[in-house]
Structure formats: C-alpha cells, structure tokens
Structure 1
Amino acid sequence: MKVTRAVLPFLPLCQRLLPSRLAGLSLTLLKATALEIAILAGHLLLYPSGIIQEQRSPAPGTRTGAGSGLDPDDIAHDSGGESDASRLPVPVHPPVVLLHGFIDNRSVFVLLRRSLAQHGRQQVESLNYSPLTCDIRTAAELLGRHIEEICERTGRHEVDIVGHSLGGLIARYYVQRLGGDVRVRTLVTLGTPHSGTAVVPLMNAHPIVRQMRPGSAVIEELRERAPHCRTRFVSFWSDLDQLMDPLETACIEHPDLLAQNVRVSGIGHLALPVHPAVAAGIRQALEAEEPGARTAAHTNGLTVA
C-alpha cells in the first residue's frame, strides 16, 4: 500500500547538501514531524467533543419496546421514520469497538470511524476510560463489562476491537488474561507497547506508565502462556513512532497467539489512528477471513510508505 508523497520545493537542495540516504531519512522525519504537529493541533480542537461518553444507538434489527431498554423513537429516527425495527437488515459484520490511548478520548477516532462507516461497518462504538485510570488490569475488567453490554444490546456474540497505544494494551490484557477471547474476534492495535516502552522516563510518576515499562508485572503477565486464545491479533507499528522505545516493542511476539505485525513507514504515533492508508489496512484486517488470516499470520503484512 503506497501513499503518494508531494515533492517538497527544497528537495533538490537537500539532495545536494546531504548524502542521498541521509537526505531521504531527514525529509521523511521532517514530514512525519510536521504531520504529527498538525494532527496534535487538530486533535486539541476536537478533544472537548470526546470527553463525554457517546450515546449508544440501537443496533439495526434489535428488538425495541418494553423491557428492551431501547427507545422506539430513536429507532424511528435512525431508520428514516420506519418504526418497525424488524424490517432493518441485520449487520453482517460484528460491532467494532474503538479504544483510545493514554490521556486521550474517543475524539481521536473521528476519521477512522467515518472510514469504517463508509465501508459498511454499521455498528462502530468508541469507549472512553477515565483519564484517572491507574491500573491496566482494572481498565481491562471495565472493558469486559462494556463488551458484555454491547453484545447484549446488539444481539451479537463477538466484537472487533481497534486499540490505539495504551488502549491496545488494555484490550490485549482483557483478551489474553480475562477470557475476553470468547467475545473478541479480532484485536487490532496501533502503536501499542506490547513488550513495554522505555520512552520519557520522567513519566514514571504515573502508575499506569510504570505498567507500560519493559519488565513490569503487566508486561510479564502478557508473556505467559495462552495456548487456547482464540482472538486474532493484528498489530500496526511505525518505524517513526516517537513513543515506542524500541520501535519493535509495538510488535506482538508470542508463540501462542495468532498475530500479524504490520509495518507502517513514514508516519508517527499520533498519525496511526487518522492516516487514510492505515485506515485501509485496518479495514482489510477486520475483513480478513479466518483461514487466510492463519496463512498470513507471521508475515510482515502491508507497508505504508
């Protein structure tokens, strides 16, 4: 998968002043940094809109009325005035749950959510966990309760999860350590420190950051055997991710897990949930059939350049 890159006006000058490989790396890093700054600025504007937990809309085909916990008027509104929910088609795909990263909220997924919806994902929900969360295990238990509620409300047995950064680690703990593989068909992680990250030592004052360090109790628990885990994992990692140290920590390396690691080239940590090429890769990962996924489980997957 290739992303067309615009030619910068000063490219010839850089190529004359620097060796070709160094010039290419410098330009790629420069553009990735500029993109990260632009995404951060945009995200700061959107952040207030994502603070409040989103309202849950009823799933197409879901029973309404007394005892259902759903408002028939909401169904009528969502279906263009048609009050008989039974006439709506039942979605083919399982619901997609989006889980944000550290000190963030659901607003980071505005573009990804739109992309998924435009390509047939009728049930996409973004979950917020508290910015005061101090324990990955506790957050994973709360995620499990949310997943059970979603399954009950939508009438589906399984969900797919896309987790950015810490969100991916919380989701993996739920799947691997709390029996969540019964409910999660596919877990896609974006820039998640699966083996722990050593970046920004000054952040160690926060307990959840300490749990994301290499060798922490949580990271060691995720190294333990998981021979019966049924969830398929797809991990997107970037060669310019400023928050992963080392970069390969965002890969899943576990002998018992069905895992595919997808290398993303030329973008940083904040761009992973918003880049259109990554969104296309996520859609492909969610749509993959199980036999094909098993065949490609240990390949490098797609590359975004």
Structure 2
Amino acid sequence: MKVTRALLPLLPLCQRLLPTRLAGLSLTLLKATALEIAILAGHLVLYPSGITPERRRSPIPTQSLADLPDPDLGTDGADGTADAARLPTPDKPPVVLLHGFIDNRSVFVLLRRSLAQHGRQQIESLNYSPLTCDIRTAAELLGRHIEEICERTGRQQVDIVGHSLGGLIARYYVQRLGGDVRVRTLVTLGTPHAGTRVVPLMNAHPIIRQMRPGSGVLEELRKPAPHCRTRFVSFWSDLDQLMVPLETACIEHPDLLAQNVRVSGIGHLALPVHPAVAAGIRQALDVEEETTRAAAHTGGLTVA
C-alpha cells in the first residue's frame, strides 16, 4: 500500500524518540491520518455528485417458491427440471444508507458497490439537508422515507447503515418513533451514541449540542425500550478523532439487542469506505437474529 511505504522512513525516527509500544502506535496513527486525508480529498471530488437526490430505480421483482413449476411435472414436458433462470431470489430487505453531519450520499459510493456486488439488489442512499438543526425532525423525515420505500418495493422492513450523525438519526427513529417495526437491522459507523466532547467551539450549532453528553436527545435514548425489535450493530474505531471518548460510539442499553465491533487502525472518515469494514457490514446485515443473541456484545476488526 503506497501510504505504508511512504511512512516507512519515519519508523526509525519514531523508534529512537519513543518507546517501542508508543512508536508502533505513532506509526499506526500516522498511517490512519494519511488515509483520512486521502479519503477526504477523494470525497471532496465526489461531493458535488451526491448533492442531488438519487434516481429511484424500479425494484427487481422476486419470485416465491409457489410461483415455480413443480419439477415432477416438468417445465416443458421434456426433462422434468425447473428453469434455473427462474430460481427464487434470496429475500433480503432493502438497505438504506444515511450519511453524517454536513455530508451527502456520495460518502457511500464504495459501500454501495460492495453491497450490490454481494447480492443486495435494493439500495437507497438518502440525503437530509445540511441545514438540519434537530435530530428529532430528521428522524421523522427518515420515517416518511422508510414508509415510501416499503410501499414502493413491497417490503415490510429495511436495513439501515448510518454513518456518524446518520446513525443517531436512525436510532432515534427506531427507538423513539416506532421505527423498530420497519427496521430489521441498524448498523452504525462512528456514531456518538453516548455523546462526544470533540471541538467544544462548535456548540453554537444546535445539532452539535444534541450530540453532546447529557443532551435531551441522548437522554431520551437512555430511556427504557423493552419491546424494541431492531437489531443493532455498532462499529467504533480506536483511532476515531471525532469520538471523545472513543467508547461513546458503542451502544450500551439494557433493552437493546446490540453488538459493538471495535475497528483498529482507521479513523472516522474511513469507516464507510474501508473494504474490511464493508465486509463486516455485510456480515452484520446477513446474520440471523439467533446468532446475534448468542454472540458476545463486543467484537473486533483489525484493518491496519
């Protein structure tokens, strides 16, 4: 990887100036920072393409087993086998991608491609206004979008992947607005579930204040949710510069079926982009509920 090779000459200097453990950490941090800068530069190029809402595609019809001919009767009276082209499509719900603060759907270009290449036929990338000032209002708007998606696709539920603020908006919809009826699995990437203390000077923005520890929105999310049916998977990074403290991106709630996955070696912007995280997201969306209940509440993913 070019970033790694570029940083190798710095290793002897780090080893001389710092203890071995700190030198290794510094090299990892340098690599993660270089990757964040590269991703930011690429995202700035793609950003204009994601400003407008995406074009809605007609859903691909799926067939149930009842629609298929009986193999014993034959399909054409010749060989008695069903036409392979008419085999039923796996019943996977649509995936809704929700971006973070002052961002748009272009952040999910690579993740969307990864999901499509692995069998997800219905993927929706939603934009909310950069002028959004209230998580509750954004969650209500998300709910209306989800209802429209379900009606258009004929599905009863969707999966959601939310990056940063997008994950918090989706969680509010699920937990406080009855969205657990519509959302089967919610995957969050670097979402401040317990609030972040990063950049105190940004408190002038109302939605930033809602992402601070102890805000009214976060206190609402701490309330009991005994009948919530949605499964939660939270990816958090040990090098996430926007999560202070880092563990704030974990979901800790006694009533929620939640799994926290620690990602090592990348920063905040890389979470919706890195192929290893994309593989983890696909696994989280495909896992059965029984498997989630049996799994530990914490997991690990090293991408460095």
- What range describes the TM-score normalised by the shorter chain of this pair? 0.7 to 0.9
Cα distance in 2 between the residues matched to 1:282 and 1:5: 25
- Partner of residue 112, structure 2: 113
Retained in 1: the 8 A contact 2:162–2:188? yes
Retained in 2: the 8 A contact 1:259–1:297? no
- Partner of residue 38, structure 2: 38
Retained in 2: the 8 A contact 1:100–1:127? yes
1:52 aligns with 2:52: yes
Retained in 1: the 8 A contact 2:262–2:298? no
Q: Following TM superposition, by how much is the alpha carbon of 1:90 offset from its aligned partner in structure 2, in angstroms?
A: 4.8
Q: Which deviates more, 8-17 or 154-163? A: 8-17
Q: Which amino acid aligns with 2:128?
A: Y
- Partner of residue 20, structure 1: 20
- Partner of residue 125, structure 1: 124
Q: Which amino acid aligns with 1:115?
A: S
Retained in 1: the 8 A contact 2:163–2:191? yes
Query: Per the alignment, in what secondary structure is the counterpart of residue 259 of structure 1?
Result: strand
Seq. identity, %: 87
Deviation per CA, 1:234-254: give whole Å up to 9, x if none: 000001111111110000000
1:213 aligns with 2:212: yes
Query: Per the alignment, in what secondary structure is the counterpart of residue 125 of structure 1?
Result: strand
- CA change 1:172–1:200 in 2 (3 A) is same
Q: Following TM superposition, by how much is the alpha carbon of 1:5 offset from its aligned partner in structure 2, in angstroms?
A: 6.2
- Partner of residue 230, structure 2: 231
TM (normalized to structure 2)? 0.88
- CA change 1:297–1:231 in 2 (3 A) is farther
Cα distance in 2 between the residues matched to 1:39 and 1:301: 23
Cα distance in 2 between the residues matched to 1:181 and 1:301: 26
- Partner of residue 294, structure 2: 295
Query: Per the alignment, in what secondary structure is the counterpart of residue 8 of structure 1?
Result: helix
Q: Which amino acid aligns with 1:230?
A: R
Retained in 2: the 8 A contact 1:106–1:128? yes
Retained in 1: the 8 A contact 2:264–2:301? no
Cα distance in 2 between the residues matched to 1:177 and 1:297: 26
Retained in 1: the 8 A contact 2:263–2:300? no
Q: Following TM superposition, by how much is the alpha carbon of 1:300 offset from its aligned partner in structure 2, in angstroms?
A: 2.5
Where do 5+ consecutive residues of structure 2 fail to align?
63-85
Count of residue correspondences: 279
Written as runs of structure 1 = structure 2, the 5 A alignment for 1:133-172 is 133-172=132-171
TM (normalized to structure 1)? 0.88
Larger Cα Rg: Structure 1 or Structure 2? 2
1:180 aligns with 2:163: no
Q: Following TM superposition, by how much is the alpha carbon of 1:10 offset from its aligned partner in structure 2, in angstroms?
A: 3.6
- Partner of residue 250, structure 2: 251
- Partner of residue 65, structure 2: none
- Partner of residue 273, structure 1: 272
Higher relative contact order (CA 8 A, sep 6+): 1
Retained in 1: the 8 A contact 2:36–2:267? yes
Q: Following TM superposition, by how much is the alpha carbon of 1:302 offset from its aligned partner in structure 2, in angstroms?
A: 3.5
Q: Which amino acid aligns with 2:33?
A: T
Query: Per the alignment, in what secondary structure is the counterpart of residue 229 of structure 1?
Result: coil
Cα distance in 2 between the residues matched to 1:283 and 1:89: 21
Retained in 2: the 8 A contact 1:60–1:91? no
Retained in 1: the 8 A contact 2:198–2:243? yes
CA RMSD of aligned residues (A): 1.8
